[in-house]
Amino acid sequence: MSAIIGVDIGGTKLLAVRIDSAGSVAQEYRTDKPDDGSMMATAIANAVPELCGGDPIGALGVGVAGLVDHKTGTFVWGPHVDGVNVSLRDELESVVGSRVTVDNDANVTAFAEHRIGAGRGSSAMLMLTLGTGIGGAMVFGGEIYRGRGFAGEFGHARLARGDHQCECGQRGCWETEAAGPALERLARELIESDPHGSLAGALETRPVAGPAISAAAVAGDPQAIALIAQVGEAFGHGLASVITMFDPDRIVIGGGLGSIGELLLDPIRRSTGAARYAGAHNPLPTIVGAELGEHAGAIGAGLLAVEERAADE
């Protein structure tokens, strides 16, 4: 039996999985992400023998955070891995001796949700991941929509009302107002103005960061719940514009902050509903949480490699 392998290189880790043809994870492999683009092919190739266990490679796909030219398999630039214009596909193919597919991590994550997760059956799906930023991808007519290669960088669309400086250098990017950084900023302001409040107590021994604030909200802290709702409303305000542009039938929300569920999804639906164009005649698309969790990117990379290989044969 040949092995289907998917790899996801994100902000901190390299996660590789072996999946069956239905996308179920049979085995996983984790290591720190490579720091430099020149080490990516080797880091991925190191995962292969353990996952293959002697079987030949049937399909191998890789998703990487950043700008990826899918046609040429080039890692152009990314915020987490040094190096530009790395010929990742060619380097990896020469090491493993098998065809390789390389794509952006948000694209392969959305692809997995479309094929086997929360986007099943959708004809126009948008996936948005909320974490330290806002990632995005589009699956239209069952195919990933890439534009000239780099479509879907929704986090840096200026869809918010605020004017905070983004790490990309611009001001007012959606992700500075409606994702992890906004949540942390709001929490710090609240703790400063209300040092004896419930959130200050809940975070006394933890850093004021997204995961701790989310955990406090899930545990029922009213101030944390209100902050999550505030961020969800800011996100929904921008999402209404995205819906106006693309008219999707389904929005899948994933990512670390996105995985909190209804505490976030409810405020998103409310503010998107209030802000959308021609609301009385234009029903809101379904807005749902992602289903596949942290393995989604690696699973999607493997599934995409299988379909591309089948299309070539």
Q: Which of residues 129-158 bind Zn ion (CB under 5 A)?
A: 156
The least distance separating Zn ion from the CB of residue 176, rounded to whole angstroms, comes to 7
Half-sphere exposure of 301 (CA within 13 A, CB side): 33
**Distances in whole angstroms, Cα of residue 101 to Cα of each of 61, 63, 138, 256:** 5, 9, 18, 26
Q: Any contact of residue 166 with Zn ion (CB under 5 A)?
A: yes
Classify residue 285 by its DSSP letter: P
Nearer to Zn ion, 94 or 170 (CB): 170
The least distance separating Zn ion from the CB of residue 181, rounded to whole angstroms, comes to 10
Distance separating alpha carbons of residues 62 and 299, to the nearest angstrom:
10
Nearer to Zn ion, 151 or 168 (CB): 168
**Distances in whole angstroms, Cα of residue 140 to Cα of each of 122, 148, 247:** 8, 15, 11
Nearer to Zn ion, 160 or 173 (CB): 173
CA angle (53 as vertex; 48, 58 as ends), nearest 5: 60
Token readout for 249 is: 């039938």
The least distance separating Zn ion from the CB of residue 171, rounded to whole angstroms, comes to 8
Q: Which of residues 170-189 bind Zn ion (CB under 5 A)?
A: 170, 173
Total residues binding Zn ion (CB under 5 A): 5
Token readout for 112 is: 């997995």
Nearer to Zn ion, 175 or 233 (CB): 175
- Give the contact letters, 72-91, x = binds to Zn ion (CB under 5 A), - = no: --------------------
Alpha helices in 3-148 (DSSP H): 40-52, 88-96, 105-116
**Distances in whole angstroms, Cα of residue 168 to Cα of each of 8, 118, 152, 217:** 23, 30, 15, 29
The least distance separating Zn ion from the CB of residue 150, rounded to whole angstroms, comes to 14
Instruction: Outline where DSSP puts E strands in the chain.
Output: 3-9, 13-19, 25-32, 57-64, 67-69, 74-77, 100-104, 124-130, 134-140, 143-145, 250-254, 286-289
Choose the stretch contacting Zn ion; rule: CB under 5 A; options: 5-13, 102-110, 161-169, 249-257. 161-169
Among 95, 168, 200, 263, binds Zn ion (CB under 5 A): 168
Token readout for 99 is: 């065809």
The least distance separating Zn ion from the CB of residue 188, rounded to whole angstroms, comes to 20
The least distance separating Zn ion from the CB of residue 175, rounded to whole angstroms, comes to 6
The least distance separating Zn ion from the CB of residue 182, rounded to whole angstroms, comes to 13
Nearer to Zn ion, 85 or 170 (CB): 170
Nearer to Zn ion, 175 or 221 (CB): 175
Nearer to Zn ion, 34 or 155 (CB): 155
Where on the chain is the footprint of Zn ion (CB under 5 A)? 156, 166, 168, 170, 173
